[in-house]
């Protein structure tokens, strides 16, 4: 049996934003059960349609489940207050899109790394040629409006000089770039597909830089 193709992407409806606004106030099973059809039709279905349209160029996406893993968390609220999707091209490395009560944002990079992968990335940052390449790449993306994020050490990583010319990059344990589209009217239209496609194309050099220095996708 073949899977039905998703409907063409036509934007995220206002109901998706309203859903997450309400979920942040009432994150309970009773609310979810009463509004799960809204989530299915206004949140999940558009996200599936968006990522399906992007798949031929970027690859298949993982559309994340709405349930939180609360086993080791003090916060026991059961549902995520956002809907994300991720296209991976290497371990924890790829492109991202998310909708929440704050609107829509896009991003890319790597969000975590094993000790060996992080050592490989840092070695490439330390190298004058590849490190300068990354530095220039990030500077160009910041000029285009991207914001640099990721988890960083407060001190220098072991084995590196605090005066290293790229010490700020070496402190990163993850490295992501993000762009906030918020509540721009385009997010509610089919044209937002082209916006996400262009965003991910801009981030391709970063994603490929990281992917070239890590193992193949597991």
Domains of the chain: 14-211 (3.30.930.20)
Q: What is the pLDDT of residue 73?
A: 80
Say what the pTM is: 0.93
pLDDT tens digits in sequence order for the chain, 218 residues long: 455 677 899 999 999 999 999 999 999 999 999 999 999 999 999 999 999 999 999 999 999 999 998 887 888 899 999 999 999 999 999 999 999 999 999 999 999 988 999 999 999 999 999 999 999 999 999 999 999 999 999 999 999 999 999 999 999 999 999 999 999 999 999 999 999 999 999 999 999 999 998 754 34
- Whole-Å CA distances, 74 to 56, 69, 80, 169, 187: 40, 11, 14, 32, 34
Q: How far apart are CA 188 and CA 9, in angstroms?
A: 10
Q: Note whether 201 and 144 are within 8 A (CB).
A: no
Spatial contact of 58 and 199, defined as CB atoms under 8 Å apart: no
Alpha helix stretches (DSSP H) within the chain: 14-25, 29-38, 45-58, 115-126, 128-143, 167-170, 192-211
CB hemisphere CA count around 121 (13 angstroms): 31
Asked if residue 65 lies in contact with residue 47, where contact means CB atoms within 8 angstroms, the answer is: no
- How high is the pLDDT of residue 70? 80
User: What's the pLDDT score for residue 137?
Assistant: 97
């Amino acid at each position: 049996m073949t899977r039905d193709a998703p409907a063409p992407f036509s934007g995220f409806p206002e109901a998706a934003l309203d859903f997450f606004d309400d979920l942040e106030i009432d994150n309970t099973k009773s609310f979810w059960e009463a509004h799960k059809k809204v989530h299915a039709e206004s949140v999940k279905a558009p996200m599936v349609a968006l990522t399906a349209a992007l798949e031929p160029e970027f690859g298949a996406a993982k559309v994340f489940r709405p349930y939180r893993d609360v086993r080791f968390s003090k916060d026991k609220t059961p549902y995520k207050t956002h809907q994300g999707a991720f296209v991976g091209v290497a371990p924890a490395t790829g492109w991202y899109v998310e909708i929440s009560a704050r609107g829509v944002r896009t991003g890319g990079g790597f969000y975590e790394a094993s000790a060996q992968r992080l050592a490989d990335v840092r070695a490439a940052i330390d190298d004058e040629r590849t490190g300068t390449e990354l530095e220039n790449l990030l500077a160009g993306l910041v000029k285009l409006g991207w914001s640099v994020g990721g988890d960083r050490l407060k001190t220098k990583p072991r084995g590196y000089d605090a005066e290293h010319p790229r010490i700020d990059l070496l402190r990163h344990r993850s490295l992501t770039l993000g762009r906030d589209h918020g509540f721009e009217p385009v997010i509610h239209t089919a044209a937002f597909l082209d916006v996400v496609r262009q965003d991910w194309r801009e981030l391709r050099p970063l994603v490929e830089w990281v992917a070239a220095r890590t193992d193949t996708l597991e």
